[in-house]
Structure 1
Amino acid sequence: MPISRSAKVQRTQWTAQFLVASELVRNGYVVSFTMGNTPLADLMVGSRDATYRFWVDVKGVGSNSAWLIRRRQAVPNLFYILVRVGETRTADAFFVLNHPQVNELIAAQDATDKSKGSRDIGGAFSWKAALPFRDKWPILPGWPS
């Protein structure tokens, strides 16, 4: 039975969230899902000893398409983990950025779009723009060395 586009998007997003949570737990963090109760982020994350606490907004895509991320004022301790959900676990890719880095990528894309006369879609950047941030987990507070 074919799956609808909206069902595929939802499945991809949930897969991405669980993949990120498992990577964080595997590396010593405590993770709670916000379950849609906060528009800020998908995960609340902290160290076991409560030394570090931060938010993670997860964005998942199933193909090398643009990252659609809404523009917002900088939020302290907010990180984005973008996940390219592959057909297999070994094909998954993680891109880890802080909020200012995301805002810079959105601003650069906005400038490019404006120069081309494209309409404003509310915030996004290209797949390739995230490539320098692949597996940059150490940007997270308290990431193990």
Structure 2
Amino acid sequence: MTMTRNEAEWAAVFLAAGELTRRGYSVSLTLGPNAPLADLVVRAPSGASFIVDVKGKCKPGSWMVKPKQPTPGLFYMLVRLGMSPTGIDRTADRFYIMSQTEALRLTKTNLKHPGLSGFTSAAAAKSLDDWSCLPG
């Protein structure tokens, strides 16, 4: 089973929203081209609100992240969808959760393809399952 990039992005947004909800957060999706800053508006159990930009992929490779102007309360969730040769493998789903500051620190310009920027999963390793970086 293969997924297009667009399908992987959509699956990642819903998977991120579902996981946040399981953890006690209230989540709203921001759909369409009028919401370019973030994919999710989230309210923490404590009442704090924040926004999340979700990136998703189902194949190995770098995370493509465009630097954005510093935005208070912006977090990134990078969702690596678990896939096996026979299809979906939910046990292999991976969540990298980080602040905008951390994402900006990791983001490097792609020298082979100017205009593209991002970072590897290895560079983001300390953000794997770092749910504690989100407001509680």
TM-score range, shorter chain: 0.7 to 0.9
SS of the residue 2:37 aligns to: coil
Q: Return the letter of the residue paired with 2:106.
A: L
Q: Which has the higher helix share?
A: 1
Which residue among 109, 127, 135 is the counterpart of 1:133? Answer: 127
Cα offset, 1:42, TM superposition: 0.3
Tell me the TM-score normalised to structure 1 length.
0.82
Of all paired residues, the percent bearing the same amino acid is 39
Tell me the TM-score normalised to structure 2 length.
0.87
* Residues 71, 122 of structure 1: 8 Å contact kept: no
* CA RMSD of superposed structures (Å): 1.8
- CA distance in structure 1 between the aligned counterparts of 2:120 and 2:44, rounded to whole angstroms: 32
Unaligned runs of at least 5 residues, structure 2: 84-88
Unaligned runs of at least 5 residues, structure 1: none
Residue aligning to 1:32? 28
- CA distance in structure 2 between the aligned counterparts of 1:47 and 1:98, rounded to whole angstroms: 15
- CA distance in structure 1 between the aligned counterparts of 2:44 and 2:97, rounded to whole angstroms: 18
Q: Which has the higher strand share?
A: 2
Cα offset, 1:48, TM superposition: 5.3
Q: Return the letter of the residue paired with 1:69.
A: V
- CA distance in structure 1 between the aligned counterparts of 2:96 and 2:113, rounded to whole angstroms: 26
* Residues 58, 82 of structure 1: 8 Å contact kept: yes
Which residue among 9, 12, 16 is the counterpart of 1:13? Answer: 9
- CA distance in structure 2 between the aligned counterparts of 1:75 and 1:15, rounded to whole angstroms: 25
- What is the number of residues matched between the two proteins? 130
Q: 1:13 to 1:119 in 2, by over 3 A?
A: closer
